[in-house]
Chains A and B, each alone.
Chain A
């Protein structure tokens, strides 16, 4: 009986060894299921065949064989489970591999629009001044001679009208505004100090169009009137504007100038953004760039709107938006703004 027992145990060992070897070679779930049936099948599995021998064994051998069968069964089952997991992992890996995308293909375009550089520049300027308590207002683009000229101390036949060649709708009466300054008058008439407004908008000049002149362009007017404003405040406001618009280290220079509706008047320059003041073509080798005109509101203008110039003081300034944008974005040609070439617009 011992011999028989030993022989059985040896057969079980051999079975286990053969089963594990076969399992090792299996590469698909179908084969795996075959293997499962062949070795661990409840009905005709090889291990089951051994169990059917147990009743024929002696009382002492039965548990030995039983335990051995269980040990082999556990071993095979765990090996099967491990193999199954391995195969599942591999199949998933292979499935994912088959789904590989070319991530360098362009994405499905969600069209993205662009703001016109003039709108963008106006917005930037407006934000800087609204942070200083200014409000943004707009005005009519077709204006009267009174608001555009007379109320601003530019009577008919004043030589200053030469600086602003005019498109006339009704000669002498109605015109396309040559500047945003008429809104100084409209705002001062419509409200009382304190006033802090900026006025962006279109303006028109009867000029031959070339690389640096446009018949229609944009300006931003600024007006501050209260009982304590001085020209030092004008300089303070514009210095801050220049730093925020053109860079923290920008320097601002005031120099004498003439505008009929300000007194004293000042031209405002910033040090050249390209050469930092050492001189280059952009600044015509002066180291400075002219950015805007400004001054203290002329007493005649204050009297025109019924303000007492001994009580109220104010400053005003006006800048060309195209000029600011050309400096800021290094654009050499003013006609690009009205050209609306998408190759230009897409850059903003």
Chain B
């Protein structure tokens, strides 16, 4: 809300500078967002002047040539505004004037010389109106600096949702008065009432007194509809409203001044002179003043006459009984409406007005008569109106003044600030609370002084002691609060450790040279489906997979028929064409865009898109990870399952480097190495990688990671944690990635279930260790893991470690075969092994490998 300082000063004396005043108010919770110094740029080059002659410029449909009396001479000015006529007094910017970004000069146009510019309100910084020149009062002297007459400072407030009473100049003035210990000077509307009483002229029926607690109406006859006086137009402009005509302007002026929205009907257009306040009928229609036809709902409140609606209560009027040039009698509405109803209506219709925004914050029902009288006074004084006697006032249940029993010690109890009863008394009184000492209750409160505080009706936000504490604190000053670090007892553990765990994973991956990214949790189904090499109902299921407690079953391998039967919400028929919208996901009903229409089911699409963005400008490879949640839908009306995950992406070489090894593009084993390092750092010892068919990945280069954890029956079992692999070339192409790309997504909750609760130390054997190398030739298809497991199984507990140090194909190894070379380390905990023992073990292993894989020893 914009409040011109000059207007504010009408109600309270202000001795502080505008900046000091802004500070005082801001500290007390009335945040001044900006000070607008209107006229600061006018200087002495913007002056008052008068149009002495006006002629149309031949050949132009809108330009006029004017002769202007500057008070000290006459000049010619070209002007394009439609609203000027001879005799008008106007603001004139002379050559050299600077208004905002605009510098005025002498211009030649269509054979005329223009030696200045006539200004619109917007050009002067007096609000947004640019429909015509700002016409000055006829009494304005000529040739004086406009700044001397009109410059002002406008305070811009952000009015908080609970303080409807502050949405007015008087409301702000009341706070200024309280904070600066000055009296508040309220206008006292005085006018002569004459003619037929209003009660005989208009009938008001309020059918719904719940939504309309009060409806006050006055009738004013004999009004002249003309333009508003300059001072009023100027105040409206500076407050951000556009002058329209005197009657409408008076209703707006009073709304800005006292905070009571008003509506002026043309009395003679109100059919049967009967106002009926009622709810709309479902589907009833009204065309509002902005020319839009609106369909209404049954919970919206209408102002009607017997023949139909004339206004949406508290929001906007219609053309039906609008004030027009021929209007002579005014039916003035000053009503109070229930905030929730007004808000709901305004939101539903997408129609927020100055009026609705005031009503929805809650207004004082006691304000209607004051507002009506103030407007009646101005209509009498400025529009020559005759105010008919009396107010038609429907107010079945007058608002009761709330009283709160308050102990001054509550201030210290809640804030730590010591205050006296006197201070509390003064602070609340300054804000127009009625404070009374209660002696009778003193005993009950242990000898403590109690106050009975009567809350003014305009302070609907004050309900209990804590609210009064805040009022006292605002008056005494928040800067008086002491600062004391809390000393109270420390709580028991309340943490679920996920914060620490997420940071543990984060630190490990950063240590492995990966950069953390943070992408939107919102995405679209299409963006996620882009991950799949081939999209059908079956492949789409992988986006919904999660680790299941019963082992592998929950982790569908998309290439196998078994998956087709696993119901995860997606119709599982790969023949059917698949539509993105049939992918179950947490849908946002009011998304910002189609790209952000649902919550993500995977972190991988964000990673791929980030790779894509960065690869455009990055010659080195990319190593990224993100820690975040997948949002898996559950039943309707239920919150989704949010699963904590980590996603990893590698693409291209680790670095731009002169070292050939580092300049090598990342491959599957780089990614697997990262995952294995993560497992090692988390002390997860029992895990395995198994080949898997997955629609994101290269069919021969992807694996599921499983960790061993205790099942519900106490036995150990492998549970899937996530998958990793080389992105399918079709998918890589889709994202324009220059290198083969590797992705991994792991479920952190399953992963951490496999982290040992505590570590225990195994003594280091002091007995000698024996090493033996073992080179075997097996079929290409034999997985290295199977060979390794067989060696471990047959080596028994004396075989301490097995390490693969060479994998070789090519001559002299026969085609279709590969050679695997291991180094085996034998050691006993309690004695020194003999060579013979080690040899026997080694021979046993060789025999087993021959048996199981047809392995041949390489000589």
Contacts and interface: CB of A to CB of B under 8 A. Distances in A.
A115 B510 contact: yes
Contacts of A237: 485-486
A125 B119 CA distance: 53
Contact of B496 (A137, A229, A267, A298): A137
Contacts of B759: none
Interface stretch (B217-225, B336-344, B398-406, B447-455): B336-344
B28 A255 contact: yes
Contact of B654 (A109, A119, A163, A296): A109
Interface stretch (A5-13, A19-27, A30-38, A169-177): A169-177
Contacts of A324: none
A103 B339 CA distance: 76
A230 B510 contact: no
Interface in A182-222: 187, 190-191, 193-197, 200, 202, 204, 206, 208-209, 215-216
A263 B415 contact: no
B599 interface: yes
Contact of B637 (A118, A174, A200, A236): A174
A111 B655 contact: yes
A136 B495 contact: yes
A87 interface: no
Contact of A195 (B491, B618, B640): B491
Contact of A141 (B343, B592, B622, B629): B629
Contact of B26 (A209, A255, A266, A296): A255
B760 interface: no
Interface stretch (A72-80, A90-98, A338-346): A338-346
Given A108-B659, A194-B489, A173 B637 contact: yes
A169 B640 CA distance: 10
Contact of B589 (A162, A169, A227): A169
B162, B479, B507: which has the most chain A beta carbons within 10 Å? Answer: B162
A119 B499 CA distance: 11
Contacts of A313: 413-414
A338 to B, nearest CB: 6
A257 to B, nearest CB: 6
B499 A126 contact: yes
Interface in B494-518: 494-496, 498-500, 503, 506-507, 509-518
Nearest to B628: A202
Interface residues of B, number: 97
Contact of A235 (B482, B506, B590, B659): B482
Contacts of A346: 515
Contacts of B586: 142, 169
B29 A167 contact: no
B642 A140 contact: yes
A277 interface: no
B591 A167 contact: yes
B478 interface: yes
B590 A167 contact: yes
A342 B515 contact: yes
Given A137-B499, A230-B416, A338 B518 contact: yes
B511 A163 contact: no
Contact of B467 (A191, A255, A263, A339): A263
Given A106-B657, A135-B493, A141-B521, A194 B488 contact: yes
B677 to A, nearest CB: 12
Contacts of A208: 592
Query: Does more than half of chain B's interface fall in helix, strand or loop, or is it mixed?
Result: loop
B658 A106 contact: yes
B838 interface: no
Interface residues of A, number: 98
Interface string A93-127: 00000000000011011111111101100010010
Interface string B141-162: 0000000000000000000111
A246 interface: no
Interface in A227-246: 227-233, 235-237, 239-240
Contacts of B520: 215-216, 338
Interface string B547-587: 00000000000000000000000000000000000000011
Interface stretch (A49-57, A59-67, A153-161): A153-161
B614 interface: yes
Contact of A108 (B509, B589, B640, B657): B657
B503, B631, B639: which has the most chain A beta carbons within 10 Å? Answer: B639
A258 B589 CA distance: 30
Contacts of B482: 232, 235-236
A222 to B, nearest CB: 11
A232 B415 contact: yes
Nearest to A255: B27
B246 to A, nearest CB: 32
28 contacts: A106-B658, A111-B513, A113-B516, A137-B499, A141-B521, A141-B631, A156-B340, A159-B361, A162-B161, A167-B588, A169-B586, A194-B490, A204-B522, A226-B488, A226-B489, A229-B486, A230-B413, A231-B415, A231-B481, A235-B484, A255-B478, A256-B470, A263-B470, A264-B466, A264-B470, A264-B474, A265-B29, A340-B518
Given A123-B503, A157-B339, A263-B469, 7 more contacts: A138-B499, A167-B522, A193-B491, A232-B416, A232-B481, A264-B414, A299-B464
Interface of A: 105-106, 108-116, 118-119, 123, 126, 132-133, 135-138, 140-144, 156-160, 162-163, 167-171, 173-174, 176, 187, 190-191, 193-197, 200, 202, 204, 206, 208-209, 215-216, 224, 226-233, 235-237, 239-240, 252-258, 260, 263-267, 296, 298-299, 309, 313, 337-343, 345-346
